[in-house]
Amino acid sequence: MSYLTLLKSLNYLFNPKSVAVIGASGTPGKIGYTILNNLLKGNFKGRVYPVNPNRSTILGKTCYKSVSEIPEQVDLAIIAVKADLVPEILAECEREGVKTAIIISAGFKEIGEEGKKREEKIAEIVKKGRIRVLGPNCLGVFDNYSGLSTLFLPDTRVEKPKPGNISFISQSGAMLAMFLDWMAKENIGVAKGISHGNRVDIDEADLIYYLAFDEETKVILIYLEGLDEGKGRRFMEACKFATFHKPIIVVKGGKTDAGSKAVASHTGAMAGSYNIYKAAFKQSNVIEAKDIQEMFDMAKALVMLPLMSENRVAIITNAGGVGVLATDALESRGFKVIELDEQTQRKLRENLPERCSVKNPVDLTGDASAEQYRIAINTVISLNYVDALYVCLLFQEPALGFEVLDYIYYAKEFGKPIISVIMGGGLAERISRIIENNGIPSYPTPERAAAALYALYQYSKIKQSYLKL
């Protein structure tokens, strides 16, 4: 399949003009009700057709007995019926020229032999090459720009994030719901979320190729448990292709190997699947996060900050202890907390009170004022040997005025990444939210900020290696 064909076919999945909800229901609480209701009262602009042979109207819309009765070309069929009815319904969709289908229904490969047979029937229909299928056993698609959402979860359980530039691919539907809810709470914008379930057709590689092209997506996140046999190489190709344009961060689930293999060689004994995934990620320029929190931390930095040219960081703090922890965290991630030159040190000493330490970290101490931060920030960030600025702010100190936030925003003009550590309780959390709304990522510990900056540096190196070709 050519790249263009792939883009076109998957575009119907995210931007359909016409959608059929097969298995639509008028009974609140049923999946077929929630999906239809969400589509009708949400931001989706396309036309929506409920399909249910036993009803004439649902939620005030004309209900159709089958897809063949819908008076126009259907771009996307959302199938939420009993598993044993799915093959027949999908076959009808295929005959009627429906472009894509999302099979929400469970009861396939994941339940054993009977389900596996059903899934094989679906695979047969897909093989004809006229319809693309997401699922079965999935939550489907969330698109913050087209307004399409096939999530059958009530708003009271899953908050919707604002439109933004992070997209998430996950086998697991629950992980997708958690992602959206978490991003909403953190006030981080989301472009798309996809749960692909049993991936009888559309898989990670397809989705990565599509998101590589998607203008709204600037960072791709993946929760990956495992790929199907023989699918590794195409996954790597897709990642190499996409990371030319945008970063990919992955969290690998299932790192421990259950059971031992029957191998006699040392290499075979050591070749646990996680060792090999790790290698594949590296070779295809994918950044690996150790857990979900780290992935979101990294995503925040990558979506907000410009890239860095090298790995030299300057730290400014009003707490010596945090400066020490920040230095440890950065250096253990391979950064250089570089010593400031004589002239700069003299300049800082002339403009700052005597109590301040003017090496790196620049420690303004507990009495630091916003004005002193302004002086330190502007002096340090303009140095040509400083590639990123790492600002620690402890607002427990009453001397520190809130106008320091403005001084940090102004420093964005220097075009270098600025990352902030704001430690503490409720106030710290509220200020973090404010500073992030202005494009400065913020973290509650020095280690988490260092991990996020590490991802930024990793991607900067990846981008540089492409440009050197």
Using the minimum distance from each CB to another protein, give the nearer residue, 184 or 271.
271
413 burial level (CB within 10 Å; 0-12, 13-18, 19+):
exposed
Shortest reach from residue 285's CB to another protein, in Å: 12
3 state SS of 8: helix
Separation CA 252–CA 234 (nearest Å): 18
Give Cα separations from 54 to 24, 98, 187 (angstroms).
Answer: 10, 22, 42
Using the minimum distance from each CB to another protein, give the nearer residue, 270 or 427.
270
Q: How does 109-124 read in b/e, with b if 16+ C-beta sit within 10 Å? A: beeeeebeebbebbee
- Cβ–Cβ < 8 Å for 451, 297: yes
Shortest reach from residue 248's CB to another protein, in Å: 16
Using the minimum distance from each CB to another protein, give the nearer residue, 273 or 396.
273
Shortest reach from residue 295's CB to another protein, in Å: 22
Instruction: State both tokens at 233.
Output: 């190489």
Using the minimum distance from each CB to another protein, give the nearer residue, 382 or 465.
465
Shortest reach from residue 313's CB to another protein, in Å: 22
Using the minimum distance from each CB to another protein, give the nearer residue, 222 or 440.
222
Using the minimum distance from each CB to another protein, give the nearer residue, 117 or 282.
282
Separation CA 29–CA 15 (nearest Å): 26
Shortest reach from residue 233's CB to another protein, in Å: 6
Using the minimum distance from each CB to another protein, give the nearer residue, 5 or 275.
275
Using the minimum distance from each CB to another protein, give the nearer residue, 55 or 278.
278
Tracing tokens 């699947």 back to the chain, one arrives at 273
Shortest reach from residue 461's CB to another protein, in Å: 12
Shortest reach from residue 279's CB to another protein, in Å: 4
Separation CA 187–CA 435 (nearest Å): 11
Shortest reach from residue 230's CB to another protein, in Å: 7
387 burial level (CB within 10 Å; 0-12, 13-18, 19+):
buried
Binding site for another protein (CB under 8 A): 226-233, 236, 263-271, 273, 275-276, 278-280, 282-283
Smallest Cα–Cα separation from 55: which of 30, 99, 75, 25? 25
- Cβ–Cβ < 8 Å for 248, 242: yes
Using the minimum distance from each CB to another protein, give the nearer residue, 215 or 229.
229
Shortest reach from residue 173's CB to another protein, in Å: 23
- Cβ–Cβ < 8 Å for 329, 444: no
Separation CA 174–CA 168 (nearest Å): 12
The packing angle between helices 370-381 and 342-351, to 10°, is 160
